[in-house]
Amino acid sequence: MGIEFEIRKKYRDFSLDVSLKCDSKRIGILGASGCGKTMTLKSLAGLLKPDRGYISLDEKVLFDSKSGTDIRPGKRKIGYLFQDYALFPNMTVEENIKAALHGAAKDSGGYAKTPVENILDTFGLFDIRSHLPQELSGGQQQRTAIARMLACDPQLLLLDEPFSALDSFMREALRLELIGILDKFDKTVIMVSHDRDEIYQMCDYLLLMDRGRVIAHGPTDEIFSHPETPAAAKLTGCKNISRIERIDDHRFRALDWQGVELVTARKIEENIKYAGIRAHDFCAGNRGENVIPTGSTRISRLPFEWYVITENGLWWKIPKALNDDDMCDNVPQYISIDPEKILLMGQSTEEPNED
């Protein structure tokens, strides 16, 4: 059971070549804009026809280039939440949901099973059922779009950057609201985003994409904890990455950090070519084995954190209180990093686009 696909699509200046076999209920696809995330979703939904490959959902084949199978979108039992929600602008909330129910009944040759009043009540839309989309807040628009999608009882939900149309103030609350809705309906979800926080919070299985390819996949915690390439590390937010020169099994010289020598808990295998350190993993002071001089520093002040850039180019992220300016005059002479927290990575043939 679950989702399985292999999708290949060639354009003049871009190629999509992605595959997955997974039975997770919460799948995330993380990548920079233009990497092929939305094309993947449209292929799954039947809105874009692959040149080659196959798509199956719960062992039902939806597309197979070899056999010529290509089930049309309305028959695939897949719900698609677009970035802009794609509500019908001339229809009220209630009419938008009725339109979806009518379409589902038409495709199934039967009648909608769930009364629209029950759907409105379930999603907290009853009091605004007569409102047009332009009269709704961003959160109300999203709830209407989700209600319309779930009214058709799909087996798979595709969420295309579901929070991109919202301001930052609303995103966190709506993430939690959406998680609650998805848990309640127990549907398989594939969500694409270029926001690693959204993906980490909402998905337990992760694909990292770059330039039309999957560069890493696995449980979300594992991908964030142990990225295997510099491209994967960058997409998961690692700001410090250096080529290395191996000294022995547990010591290396960082070629892009002015040759600082560091010790790692993990054995440095022959295929390891890079090291990474997450900006929040440094400690102030000269404790432990890996002591690094800060030298002449540059400081970036944000509302609730500092970014200190050391002389050798390392980024150090430090929590701060609002209006706390002490760091400007009190940067320590040394910082240190636990050997356990150093990431070791193999050769990367392609670098990801910047977010």
Q: What is the CATH number of the domain that holds 118?
A: 3.40.50.300
Lowest mean pLDDT among 22-31, 217-226, 286-295, 343-352: 343-352
Task: Note whether 238 and 220 are same-domain residues.
Answer: no
- Residue range 146-159: mean pLDDT, rounded: 91
Note whether 95 and 204 are same-domain residues. Answer: yes
Looking at residue 106, its pLDDT comes to: 55
Residue 324 has pLDDT above 90, yes or no: no
Residues of the chain above pLDDT 70, percent? 90
217/254 same-domain check: no
Q: Are residues 296 and 177 in the same domain?
A: no
**Residues 6 or more apart from 201 whose CB is under 8 A from it?**
175, 179
Classify residue 243: in a domain, yes or no: yes
Residues 7 and 69 in one domain: yes
- Same domain as 318, residue 189: no
**Alpha carbons 66 and 271: distance in angstroms, whole number:** 38
Q: Which of 183, 201, 225 corresponds to the end of one domain?
A: 225
Residue 351 lies in a domain: no
pLDDT in tens, 109-128: 444 456 888 889 888 899 99
Q: Which long-range contacts (CB under 8 A, 24 or more apart) does 230-234 make?
A: 230/274, 230/276, 230/345, 230/348, 230/351, 231/348, 231/350, 231/351, 231/352, 232/208, 232/345, 233/274, 233/276, 233/343, 233/345, 234/351, 234/352
On whether residue 266 sits in a domain, the answer given is yes
Are 269 and 171 within one domain? Answer: no
Dihedral angle of Cα 123, 45, 47, 174, to the nearest 10 degrees: 30
Query: Do 170 and 87 reside in the same domain of the chain?
Result: yes
Comparing 41 with 306, the larger pLDDT belongs to 41
Identify the domain boundary among 225, 251, 266: 225
With contact defined as beta carbons under 8 Å apart, do 142 and 173 qualify?
no
59 and 167 in a common domain: yes
The residues that bridge with 242 in the sheet, in sequence order, are: 275
* Residue 113 falls inside a structural domain: yes
Of 186, 209, 225, at which residue does a domain stop? 225
Q: Are residues 267 and 214 in the same domain?
A: no
Q: Between these two residues, 200 and 304, which has the higher pLDDT value?
A: 200
Regarding whether 309 and 177 lie in a shared domain, the answer is no
Under 8 Å between Cβ of 334 and 285? yes
Gap between the Cα atoms of 250 and 264, Å rounded: 5
Q: What is the mean pLDDT of residues 243-259?
A: 97
Please report whether residue 352 resides in a domain: no
CA pair distance 279, 335, nearest whole angstrom = 11
The answer as to whether 157 is a domain residue is yes
For residue 242, the enclosing domain spans 230-346
Does a structural domain hold residue 121?
A: yes
Q: Determine which helix (DSSP H) or strand (DSSP E) holds 260, and give its type and residue range.
A: none
- Distances in Å between the alpha carbon of 52 and those of 22, 44, 48, 123, 190? 20, 13, 12, 39, 21
Residue 316 lies in a domain: yes
pLDDT one-digit tens code per residue, 34-93: 999 999 999 999 999 999 999 999 999 999 999 999 999 989 999 999 888 889 999 999
User: Based on the structure, what is the number of domains in the chain?
Assistant: 2
Residues 214 and 254 in one domain: no
